[in-house]
Amino acid sequence: MSDFDQHFLDEQVRNVPLPKGLLERLRATGEGKLDDRQLDALVRDVPVPANLTDCLKTIPADAAVDGLLRNVEVPETLAGKLRGIATDDTVTDDTGLPDLAPVGSVPNIETELSATGLSWPVLSRYVVAASVLVTIGLVGFWSLGDRGKPVPLADSSRAEPSIEPSVEPDVDAVVAVAEPAPDDVADSNVPPATNSLLVESFSSTLTDLLPTEAGPTELGPADALAESQQRVADEPDVQYEPLDPLQNGDRKIIAYGNIDQVAELQPVPRIVARGVMPPLVKEFDRLRLIKDGVHPFVTLRKSTVLESVQVPLATETTSFDMLRRYLSRHRLPPAEEIRPEDFLSAMDYDFPRPARTALGIVTAAGPSVFGTAGRQLLQVAVQATDHITNRTGPTQLIVAVDVSIGLGRRERLDSLRKGLASWFSRLGPDDRVTLLVMHEEPEILIDCAGPEDGERLRAALNRLVPYPSCDLTAGLAAVANLAGRTDLVLSRQRVVLFIRGLGDMSESNVESLEKLVRDATDDRTGWDAVDLRNADLHNADFGDIHTEQDARQLERLVLAGRGKVWRAHDPREVAHAISEAQLGRSTLVAKEARLTVRFHPGAVKSYRLIGHEAHAAGGLVAGPLEASFQLGDASTALFELELKPTGSEEVAQVTLVWKDPTKTGRSVRQQWSVSRLQFVTTLERAPRSLQMAAIAGATAEILRASPYISSESGTLAGVLKVADGLDPSLADNDSLREFLGMVELARQSGRARP
């Protein structure tokens, strides 16, 4: 350490503040008040612990520790690094290493200390501290020493390790060491030597290979050892992994431990980046955001940066789907898992579809009935067109659904029904649909239905119920027969399988199904599959099983039918998958869409965005602000405002920018102005979309205990009461009816949380 470093360290130590009142308490320990000299003398006279000196004296005499230290291998590059230490003024011998002092010579400590600037009292304190640390380390090392010895398995019913038949050429024996049994399953009635060690000898006898002294292994009786060897031979499928090799002279022994006894690793949920990052300006109340977990009100007069906000175009319903699963167990999810944007996306607002452009802006405004009196709600939405251009002609769709118990869970069947119902609305005038379910026996629910058969289609969807099992071979054979009939011949025919995989079928069965599909495929007919299993860890309670073999088998099946495999786990993905199968091309209508809302400071006093908080990684990771839209997609955002009594007529300006997904990639820009005239006086007079958004947003805010919900009307019972006074035509909206049913279940569940 240089003089500068030492002086700097001393200075830092001297600058460490003493606790308030410490010196007064120390001086009060003697008779009368002590001065600094007397206090220093008392500190120096603190007795050393009785056994510390004895423990330190035993360190150099410990032969076992010396032996371990002597056997430590020197790293290959250490000698080169030591040679690099030598400088021009360093005396070296013929080896090139610095001329070190001979062993046993004692340097002049006082001279060395005076050269470094250290004093003897300071150095002695360092020596004592280092000695204490070494002692603690050695004690810990000795206490762990006994834990390395193998403990015989007490329960002989546990899986035993097996021996790999192939051995390295230089290995004389393979030793399988049984792992110790957990304390909670130990059985004192079983002799410990029954399966303490399993050994199979190859080139030499075991007694010649193993050390004669007590080593890291123990042998049981000869009969027990032979019995264990026989069990190893009878269980060739048990997996094992190599442990550290043992050395006995010039002979090498490899020990193997059972892999099956390794504790299963818990999956770590992936970080889901969602939400919007607030601007880095001091006028934004970031501390309030951290404390409450929701976006605070933003006052416009404080900063021009806060006048504009870019809203993420969310279409996910993950949080809402999670609420449904919790309510099935009469529980409520954790408040921090509730995301209002997912609740808003769960509603079918039936926005008007744009006719001339791919995307359109929709706005609605009215009073906030669940917040502080006088506040307003502003709904800003983006709706994609569902107009299909360049149809390839009428298509016959054969939809086959595996309704075995795994797929037949309520959540999956609900998503499937909603997705298919949404897709039915996109059928062309000459398209035809046949719906078949696969369970113990294949059953046709509806045959050759067109867009005019809406009631029949909905009735058929309601007949999708779970069955205990599914005869997949019989179901695919029935589908092949339907595909091969000649009573209805259209220009295209597609078979779409909604399935959970093939369940790791045998190779012969897969080949038989491939041949079945290949024979039913021609230039007019193709096969596609929609895999409804969800690999997301957040939905692991669905019980989905994914294996590489199963995935390859499903891909082979659809390749035989000249098709493709999609994944879908919500209604939106179901509708997109079957639409793309029908059209034979992507349903993407816009990409890189961005939505920006700029509030006019002359009309708006403050505002807050409901939802879209960035919680991942402590709020440091935000989600994407751009989004892609497919046929019929919609995204809605909700703001709560405080309007000024007088001022500008324009409240906000909405700007939507996106790119054409075709080869041209041209950018499209659309703007919409929100004026005071759009703000109605009562929620009942507001557009139906705003009424539904108010119900969805208020429910989410109540479930996550938002501080901006009124204590009087901000209850689930209050939500149901307000819903009774909404537009009567909303009674036919399936999404709102389902949503209010979940609100009632949540009210009955109380606020019980896991």
Q: Is residue 217 part of a domain?
A: yes
Least confident residue range of 360-364, 513-517, 569-573: 569-573
d(CA 683, CA 727): 9
Residues 318 and 413 in one domain: no
Residues 100 and 144 in one domain: yes
Q: Is residue 192 part of a domain?
A: yes
pLDDT tens column, 278-303: 888 888 888 898 888 999 999 988 77
Strands 251-258 and 173-176: parallel
Residues 439 and 536 in one domain: yes
Identity at 54, one-letter amino acid code: D
Q: What is the 8-class DSSP label of residue 332? A: -
Q: Is residue 497 part of a domain?
A: yes
Residues 576 and 595 in one domain: no
Residues 57 and 133 in one domain: yes
Q: Is residue 38 part of a domain?
A: no
Are 223 and 195 within 8 A, CB to CB?
Answer: no
Looking at the predicted structure, is the pLDDT value of residue 725 above 80?
yes
pLDDT at 106: 46
Domain boundary among 551, 583, 615: 583
pLDDT at 299: 92
Which tokens is 662 given? 């075709």
Strands (E), 36-126: none
Residues 575 and 595 in one domain: no
Residue 345: name the closest of 308, 382, 378, 371 by CA. 382
Average pLDDT over residues 594-607: 95
622 vs 435: which has the higher pLDDT:
435
User: For the purposes of burial, counting CB atoms within 10 Å of the CB of 148, is it exposed (0-12), middle (13-18) or buried (19 or more)?
Assistant: exposed
Q: Is residue 17 part of a domain?
A: no
Identity at 692, one-letter amino acid code: M
Q: Which of 113-117, 222-226, 673-677, 729-733 has the highest mean pLDDT?
A: 673-677
Q: Is residue 622 part of a domain?
A: yes
Domain count, the chain: 4
d(CA 390, CA 706): 48
Strand, helix or coil for residue 730: helix
pLDDT at 394: 86
Render 34-46 in DSSP notation, one character per residue. Answer: --HHHHHHHHHTP
d(CA 1, CA 460): 84
Give bridge partners of residue 437 from the DSSP assignment.
401, 443
pLDDT interval class at 179 (50, 70, 90):
very low
pLDDT at 389: 72
Looking at the predicted structure, is the pLDDT value of residue 228 above 80?
no
Polymer length in residues for the chain: 754
pLDDT interval class at 58 (50, 70, 90):
low
163 vs 736: which has the higher pLDDT:
736
Strand order in the sheet with 395-402: 443-449, 432-438, 395-402, 492-499, 525-531, 565-567
Residue 703: name the closest of 659, 740, 658, 750 by CA. 750
pLDDT at 344: 95
Which tokens is 355 given? 């006719």
User: For the purposes of burial, counting CB atoms within 10 Å of the CB of 67, is it exposed (0-12), middle (13-18) or buried (19 or more)?
Assistant: exposed
Query: Distance of CA 713 to CAs 335, 338, 401, 744, Å?
Result: 19, 20, 44, 16
d(CA 159, CA 297): 62
pLDDT at 36: 74
pLDDT interval class at 682 (50, 70, 90):
very high
Q: Rounded mean pLDDT of the chain?
A: 75
d(CA 451, CA 433): 9
Residues 414 and 561 in one domain: yes
pLDDT at 88: 44
Q: Is residue 28 part of a domain?
A: no
Least confident residue range of 56-65, 179-188, 328-337: 179-188
Are 435 and 417 within 8 A, CB to CB?
Answer: no
pLDDT at 101: 45
491 vs 752: which has the higher pLDDT:
491
Strands 376-384 and 634-643: antiparallel
pLDDT tens column, 526-579: 999 998 876 443 444 444 555 678 788 889 999 999 999 988 878 888 999 999
Are 440 and 469 within 8 A, CB to CB?
Answer: yes
Looking at the predicted structure, is the pLDDT value of residue 310 above 80?
yes
Residues 236 and 358 in one domain: no
Residues 565 and 644 in one domain: no
Looking at the predicted structure, is the pLDDT value of residue 602 above 90?
yes
- Cα radius of gyration (the chain): 38
Strands (E), 350-491: 359-367, 376-384, 395-402, 432-438, 443-449
Give bridge partners of residue 567 from the DSSP assignment.
531
Sign of the Cα pseudo-torsion (523, 401, 318, 384, in order): positive
Q: Is residue 1 part of a domain?
A: no
Q: What are phi and psi of 551, to 5 degrees?
A: -65, -45
Residues 143 and 229 in one domain: no
Strand, helix or coil for residue 311: strand
Residues 593 and 572 in one domain: no
The CATH code of the domain that includes 565 is: 3.40.50.410
Average pLDDT over residues 373-393: 87
Contacts of 64 by beta carbon, 8 Å cutoff, 6+ apart: none
Are 515 and 468 within 8 A, CB to CB?
Answer: no
Looking at the predicted structure, is the pLDDT value of residue 345 above 90?
yes
Identity at 268, one-letter amino acid code: V
Give bridge partners of residue 380 from the DSSP assignment.
363, 637
Looking at the predicted structure, is the pLDDT value of residue 634 above 90?
yes
Q: Which of 40-49, 211-220, 267-276, 293-302 has the highest mean pLDDT?
A: 293-302
Contacts of 431 by beta carbon, 8 Å cutoff, 6+ apart: 394, 395, 396, 397, 450, 451, 582
pLDDT tens column, 386-430: 887 766 778 899 999 988 865 546 677 888 888 898 898 888 888
Looking at the predicted structure, is the pLDDT value of residue 342 above 50?
yes
Which tokens is 546 given? 């994914």
Strands 627-630 and 604-609: unpaired
Share above pLDDT 90 across residues of the chain, in percent, rounded to a whole number: 34
Residues 489 and 629 in one domain: no
Average pLDDT over residues 347-364: 93
User: For the purposes of burial, counting CB atoms within 10 Å of the CB of 192, is it exposed (0-12), middle (13-18) or buried (19 or more)?
Assistant: middle
Are 698 and 375 within 8 A, CB to CB?
Answer: no
Tell how many helices (H) and how many strands (E) occur in the chain. 23, 21
Domain boundary among 583, 613, 642: 583
pLDDT at 268: 60
The CATH code of the domain that includes 340 is: 2.60.40.1230
What domain range includes position 248?
Answer: 173-261
pLDDT at 476: 93
Domain boundary among 532, 551, 583: 583
